[in-house]
């Protein structure tokens, strides 16, 4: 159990760290990409407003917002411009670009003008180009194409670097979390061990006085005969003894780290457990229904699986309405579960019951806090522990005045 708890702690902490790193990497790269696009658009606007070329250094620095703009900085930008009218190329200037020939630049200019896109990006032979198409005062269109390879290359470098650093950081955190996870859950482990020892020791300590009370009660019955008081005392002694045995069984059950699971005939086990309760249920004036599909095999322990079915059928019988119906249904499950067991009973007063607490220890519905119910409030908790031992799931639902417990193994 603690091994699973430790792995769960490592998993949750790792997912939290992964989400944090992913968020940081995404925000940083998104911000950098937007900054790059904004800077490229600024350059394209400067070129468009100056008829396809850069103005003087001071005007360029003012519009680009760069304090270190100089002739050398401006000369690093590679671009070409073209004047277009009604999809006809009137002129083209490729003086400031060498990676594209005049014919290639003309083809791109015509393609862009025909696409009717005012701005965008395209790739050619490992280079990335950004363009902006604006309308001049004379009604013609000016196309400016900028080689933005370096800008986008910086972005890609940042992405690779941030992903590499994020991965390295995540692995580092996973190692740290794994190393210190034992210390993180140690208080819980110590508390659980103290609780388990208390239950075990208390059960042993209480069995002696209970045995003495039972013996004295029998002696009184031998001397004075059985009475209402001695009978009540005997019932309460048996009740306490059963409660202590149940607590010890539950504590031992939860101690098991792993169980050796084998293929068990779920159909045969369910039928055997149902047969044991068929007589008592009908004797109490209730109806009993079953529909057990043959040939259902699951991974479990046969003895523990029989105990699981017995607990659920016994619970259904105890809390079934007078003259109601107890039903047991077993069928083959889906891909994830080989067997699906449904045990239900009619319970007309269950509409306002909090079913999320049914598997808590000592939980008893308010309507059932009476001596007529012989349970201790730990049966369903034991059933849940057994299902977990088999790596299955258990759930409870209420519909049409009927409580249904569903077990998938």
Measured CA to CA, the distance from residue 234 to residue 223 in angstroms comes to: 16
Q: What is the predicted pLDDT for the residue at 330?
A: 93
Chain segment 290-344, per-residue pLDDT in tens: 999 998 999 888 888 888 898 899 889 888 989 999 999 999 877 667 889 999 9
Q: Is the pLDDT of residue 178 over 70?
A: yes
Instruction: Tell me the percentage of the chain whose pLDDT exceeds 90.
Output: 20
**DSSP helix/strand/coil, 163:** helix
Is-contact 173 14, C-beta < 8 A? yes
- Higher pLDDT among residues 91 and 66, named by residue: 91
**Residues in Cβ contact with 214 at an 8 Å cutoff, skipping those fewer than 6 apart:** 234, 237
Least confident range from 18-27, 77-86, 189-198, 284-293: namely: 189-198
Four-point Cα dihedral 100, 103, 106, 111, nearest 10: -90
Q: Is the pLDDT of residue 372 over 50?
A: no
Q: Is the pLDDT of residue 2 over 80?
A: no
Stretch 366-395: mean pLDDT = 68
Stretch 373-383: mean pLDDT = 65
Up-side HSE of residue 290: CA atoms within 13 Å toward CB? 22
Stretch 127-135: mean pLDDT = 89
State which of 62-71, 200-209, 218-227, 348-357 shows the largest mean pLDDT.
218-227
Count of CB atoms within 10 A of residue 158's CB?
Answer: 16
Q: Is the pLDDT of residue 374 over 80?
A: no
The values of phi and psi at residue 227, to 5°, are -135, 180
Stretch 233-247: mean pLDDT = 73
Say how many Å lie between the first and final Cα of the chain, rounded. Answer: 19
- Higher pLDDT among residues 322 and 379, named by residue: 322
Q: Is the pLDDT of residue 218 over 60?
A: yes
Chain segment 271-290, per-residue pLDDT in tens: 999 998 888 899 888 999 99
CA-based nearest residue to 240, from 210, 216, 218, 213: 210
Instruction: Tell me the percentage of the chain whose pLDDT exceeds 70.
Output: 86
State which of 104-118, 330-344, 368-382, 395-409 shows the largest mean pLDDT.
395-409
Measured CA to CA, the distance from residue 68 to residue 370 in angstroms comes to: 87
Q: Is the pLDDT of residue 94 over 50?
A: yes
Q: What is the predicted pLDDT for the residue at 199?
A: 64
Q: What is the predicted pLDDT for the residue at 15?
A: 92
State which of 27-31, 109-113, 303-307, 377-381 shows the largest mean pLDDT.
27-31
- Higher pLDDT among residues 99 and 309, named by residue: 309
Q: Is the pLDDT of residue 126 over 90?
A: no
Q: How confident is the model at residue 166 (pLDDT cuts 50, 70, 90)?
A: very high
Q: Is the pLDDT of residue 7 over 50?
A: yes
Q: How confident is the model at residue 10 (pLDDT cuts 50, 70, 90)?
A: confident
Give this prediction's pTM: 0.53
Q: How confident is the model at residue 225 (pLDDT cuts 50, 70, 90)?
A: confident
Residue in the block written with tokens 């045969």:
268
Stretch 157-176: mean pLDDT = 92
Stretch 44-61: mean pLDDT = 84
Q: Is the pLDDT of residue 165 over 90?
A: yes
Is-contact 380 362, C-beta < 8 A? no
Domains belonging to the chain, first-starting first, are 78-147 (no CATH), 262-408 (3.30.565.10)
**Residues in Cβ contact with 240 at an 8 Å cutoff, skipping those fewer than 6 apart:** 206, 210
Is-contact 345 319, C-beta < 8 A? yes
Q: What is the predicted pLDDT for the residue at 371?
A: 42
């Amino acid at each position: 159990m603690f091994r699973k708890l430790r792995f769960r702690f490592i998993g949750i902490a790792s997912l939290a760290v992964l989400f944090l790193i992913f968020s940081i990497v995404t925000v940083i790269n998104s911000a950098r990409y937007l900054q790059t696009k904004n800077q490229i658009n600024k350059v394209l606007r400067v070129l468009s407003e100056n008829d396809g070329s850069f103005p003087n250094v001071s005007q360029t620095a003012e519009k680009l917002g760069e304090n270190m703009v100089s002739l050398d900085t401006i000369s690093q930008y590679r671009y070409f411009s073209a004047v277009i009218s009604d999809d006809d190329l009137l002129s083209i200037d490729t003086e400031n670009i060498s990676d594209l020939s005049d014919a290639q630049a003309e083809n791109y200019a015509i393609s862009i003008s025909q696409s009717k896109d005012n701005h965008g990006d395209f790739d050619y032979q490992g280079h990335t180009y950004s363009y902006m198409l604006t309308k001049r005062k004379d009604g013609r269109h000016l196309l400016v194409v900028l080689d933005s390879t370096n800008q986008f290359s910086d972005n890609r470098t940042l992405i690779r670097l941030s992903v590499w650093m994020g991965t390295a950081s995540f692995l580092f955190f996973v190692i740290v979390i794994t190393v210190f996870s034992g210390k993180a859950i140690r208080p819980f482990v110590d508390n659980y061990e103290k609780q388990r020892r208390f239950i075990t020791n208390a059960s042993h300590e209480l069995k002696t006085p209970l045995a003495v009370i039972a013996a004295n009660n029998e002696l009184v019955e031998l001397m004075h005969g059985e009475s209402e008081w001695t009978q009540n005392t005997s019932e309460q002694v048996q009740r306490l003894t059963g409660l202590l045995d149940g607590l010890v069984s539950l504590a031992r059950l939860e101690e098991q780290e792993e169980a050796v699971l084998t293929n068990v005939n779920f159909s045969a086990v369910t039928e055997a457990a149902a047969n044991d309760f068929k007589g008592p249920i009908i004797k109490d004036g209730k109806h009993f229904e079953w529909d057990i599909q043959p040939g259902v095999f699951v991974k479990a322990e046969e003895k523990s699986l029989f105990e699981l079915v017995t607990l659920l059928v016994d619970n259904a019988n105890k809390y079934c309405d007078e003259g109601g119906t107890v039903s047991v249904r077993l069928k083959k499950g889906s891909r994830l579960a080989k067997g699906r067991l449904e045990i239900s009973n009619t319970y007309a007063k269950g509409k306002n019951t909090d079913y999320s607490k049914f598997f808590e220890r000592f939980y008893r519905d308010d309507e059932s806090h009476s001596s007529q119910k012989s349970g201790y409030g730990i049966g369903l908790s034991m059933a849940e522990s057994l299902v977990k031992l088999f790596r299955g799931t258990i759930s409870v639902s209420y519909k049409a005045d009927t409580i249904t417990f569903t077990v998938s193994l």
